[in-house]
Amino acid sequence: MRMSDLVAQYILNMLEAQDGSAEIRRNELAGSLGCVPSQINYVITSRFTPEQGYIVESRRGGGGYIRISRVKMDKGTAVMHIVNSVGNTLDRATAEAMLNNMLQRELMQLQTAKAIAAALSDRTLQSIEQERRDKLRADLFKNMIITLNN
């Protein structure tokens, strides 16, 4: 497992154990996981975004912390929030992160997420020229998510 995956899983476990909200001390977490503090920043900024259903607050200084909270919303609102956050392009890694987020929030079943991931994979889209691939992936993702949740 990659370090970023390990950090993300650790934070997700904290959120689960603390009813959707966790305070993190970046240096302490980095020390306990054996990584550099910037790795914690990277994971938080890439995987715990408002588009993925999280609010991140931080306080700097000696007693500083990072507070991550999972936004609570009904299924329909959550799905439309995800669809609206996609934009005009979507890379494979972001699509997979969004699908994982939907799984964790129980907005989708595992088999459905696997089918969507397969449809959006670089292997499936290999016949599409690279510069158009992420646009097609975004369009497919949005249409599949909307269709599956109607």
For residue 117 the two structure tokens come to 């991931």
> Do 57 and 102 reside in the same domain of the chain?
no
The tally of domains found in the chain comes to 2
For residue 77 the two structure tokens come to 């609102």
Last residue of one domain, picked from the residues 41, 70, 99: 70
- Give the C-alpha separation, 83 to 138, whole Å: 9
> Do 140 and 96 reside in the same domain of the chain?
yes
> Do 43 and 9 reside in the same domain of the chain?
yes
Of the pLDDT bands very low, low, confident and very high (cuts 50, 70, 90), residue 52 is: confident
**E strand or H helix at 114, and its extent?**
helix 110-120
Number of residues in the chain: 150
CATH of residue 7's domain is 3.30.56.130
pTM (two decimals): 0.62
Kindly give the interhelix angle for 92-104 and 110-120, rounded to the nearest 10 degrees: 170
Rg (CA), the chain: 17
Of the pLDDT bands very low, low, confident and very high (cuts 50, 70, 90), residue 85 is: confident
User: What is the span of the domain harbouring residue 98?
Assistant: 75-148
- Give the C-alpha separation, 49 to 110, whole Å: 22
CA angle 115, 90, 50 (to 5 degrees): 100
- Give the C-alpha separation, 89 to 43, whole Å: 21
Of the pLDDT bands very low, low, confident and very high (cuts 50, 70, 90), residue 63 is: low
Average pLDDT of span 59-85: 82
